[in-house]
Amino acid sequence: MGLKDKAENKVEDLKGQGKESAGKATGNEQLEAEGKADQGSAKVKDAGEKVKDAAHDLKDGLTK
């Protein structure tokens, strides 16, 4: 996973945490849900990048 991808996923996760916290603090359930969704999206993207990295590493190991 590239550094740019990691940074983008972390930013999305942190935005989600902020939205969730703001939603909880203000009683805004929609904002809280959006925050949770943003965090989930970041985690899915991160997992996908890790799978891609593992496949790349496996391919490199087989071709050496």
- Is residue 39 within 8 Å of 58, Cβ to Cβ? no
Domain ranges of the chain: 3-63
Single pTM value for the model? 0.80
- Is residue 36 within 8 Å of 16, Cβ to Cβ? yes
Name the pLDDT band for 64 (thresholds 50, 70, 90): low
With a cut of 90, say whether residue 1 has pLDDT above it: no
Per-residue pLDDT tens over the stretch 26-61:
999 999 999 999 999 999 999 999 998 899 888 888
Instruction: Give the rounded percent of residues in the chain with a pLDDT score beyond 90.
Output: 70
Amino acid in position 17: Q
